[in-house]
Amino acid sequence: MVNLIIDGKNVTAKKDTMVLEAARSAGVDIPTLCAHEAVSRAGSCRLCVVEIKKGNRTRIVTSCLYPVEEGLIVNTKTERVLNVRRLVLELLLARCPRSEVLQNLAKELGVDPQPRFLPDTDKGKCILCRSCVRVCEEVVGVSAIGMSARGSHKTVGTPFKETSSVCIGCGACVYVCPTGHIVMQSTGDKRKIWKRTFKMQTCEKCGKYFAPVDQLKFISKKTGVPYNELAVCTECR
């Protein structure tokens, strides 16, 4: 076990725990957008920054990626930290002015939109945290989406913005998206996501549409379970 001090509290955490988890377990709240439990950490949203002190040196680190250390002094609400969070939220509010999640978070942290930033109209609600890309690669294992371009031109989507032949329509990306940017429409026997329409499978027992055929085929292939055994929804299983 490792002992450290977070916002003046003595905290004990297991080795290799990240400061973010150690703080949360001690009841210290640190805001995050891109740290989702289902996927690996990218450290891209920068909201979870904290100030650490080692000897006489202080510095700003990403708490979701910084492992606990013996004797580490962590402050989660110093002026420097709040300044970074304020800027990140101002920037995000200007990028995604229609995101309710961001509006609520800004309200919670007392951040107003920066009037000098002209709000974007073409970015939707995407903050490019890449949670969707990571879940598709790490959890689903198909890598149907990825990032393209660089800097302020960066976007997320299918390769060359064409419909993906490997996407299975599972919707994991929708589930992990912190801001609700990715749109998935399910109507009757069809599901539309990333500009592709998937045929849905009905549950053999209750008759409800419950999963895309492609997704069940993918699972069947991956696990060796015959398709017909998968054609039952989780509620009826």
Which residues contribute to the site for another protein (CB under 8 A)? 42-46, 49, 60-62, 65-67, 80, 83-84, 86-88, 91-92, 94-95, 114, 116-118, 127-128, 130, 147, 149-154
Minimum CB distance to another protein smaller for 93 or for 176 = 93
CB of 61 vs another protein, minimal distance in Å? 7
> Would you say 130 or 191 has its CB closer to another protein?
130
Closest Cα to residue 50, out of 39, 65, 36? 65
Least CB distance to another protein at residue 72 (A): 12
Q: What's the min distance (Å) between Cβ of 202 and another protein? A: 40
Phi, psi of 128 (to 5 degrees): 60, 40
**Cβ 138 to another protein, closest distance in Å?**
14
Shortest distance, position 86 Cβ to another protein, whole Å = 7
Q: Decide if 96 contacts 124 (C-beta within 8 A).
A: yes
State the nearest-atom distance from the C-beta of 5 to another protein, in Å.
Answer: 18
Whichever of 57 and 153 has its CB closer to another protein, that residue is: 153
Look up residue 45 and give its two tokens: 């949203």
Q: Which is nearer to another protein, 9 or 54 (CB)?
A: 54
Q: Considering beta carbons, is residue 84 or 203 the nearer one to another protein?
A: 84
Nearer to another protein, 44 or 202 (CB): 44
